[in-house]
Structure 1
Amino acid sequence: MANNLPPGVTGNEYAIAGPDYEKDSDELCPAILWYGSECQAPTMEQGYDGYRWLVCDNEHVTDIEDDPGDDPDRKYDEERDRRMLGIDRPDELDNDGILG
C-alpha cells in the first residue's frame, strides 16, 4: 500500500497522529495570565510518547510532572540514606537537628 508521506515520516508523529490519549481532567488551568491571575478554565489531560500535559479551553498547555508513586528504587534509596545518617524517621531530616 502506497502512502503520500515524505521519506522518513511514518504517520505516527504527534503533528500527524495527535495525542496517544485524551481524558477529561478535574484540575483547572494553572496558567498565569498577563495581569497576574490564574486562568482557571476546564482542562483536558493529553499524552504522547510518555509525556503528559494539560490543555485548557483557552489553549494554555501545562506539563504534568511524573508522580514517582511507589517506586521501589526510590524507597530503597531513602531507607539506605536514613540508615547511613542514623535517622529513624523521615521527619527527622529537617534542618533543626542540623543547625541546632
Structure 2
Amino acid sequence: MSRYKVDIQALPAQTFNAPLGSNTLVIELQWMARLEVFRVSISTASGNLLTAGRFLLPDVDLLAGLYPPPKVNYGSLILEGKQPTPDNLGVDNTLVWSDER
C-alpha cells in the first residue's frame, strides 16, 4: 500500500498538479466565504474533468463515487485533521493520497 501527503498551502485559492501514484491530477481549491468551505475540482493532466463542486471536508474521499466511473483506479484522496480554512489549510490538516480505496 502506498500512502503519502499531497502538499497544499494556506491560501484561499490554488491550483496545483498532484502526482498520485502513476497518475497526475490537477486539483483546484477555491474558498467559498459565504459557506466557509473549500470547493474542489479535479481533472486529469490531459484536462478531462473528474469531479467539480465537491467540498473539502475532513475524512471524506474526494475521489470516491466518480461518475462515470473512470477506467483508471486513482485511489483515494482524503483530508485528515481539522476543518480547513484559508489560515489552517496544510497546517492543521493534511491531504493524503492512498492507492487503496
TM-score range, shorter chain: under 0.3
Give the number of the structure with larger relative contact order, counting CA–CA contacts within 8 Å between residues 6 or more apart: 2
Greater helix content: 1
TM-score relative to the length of structure 2: 0.23
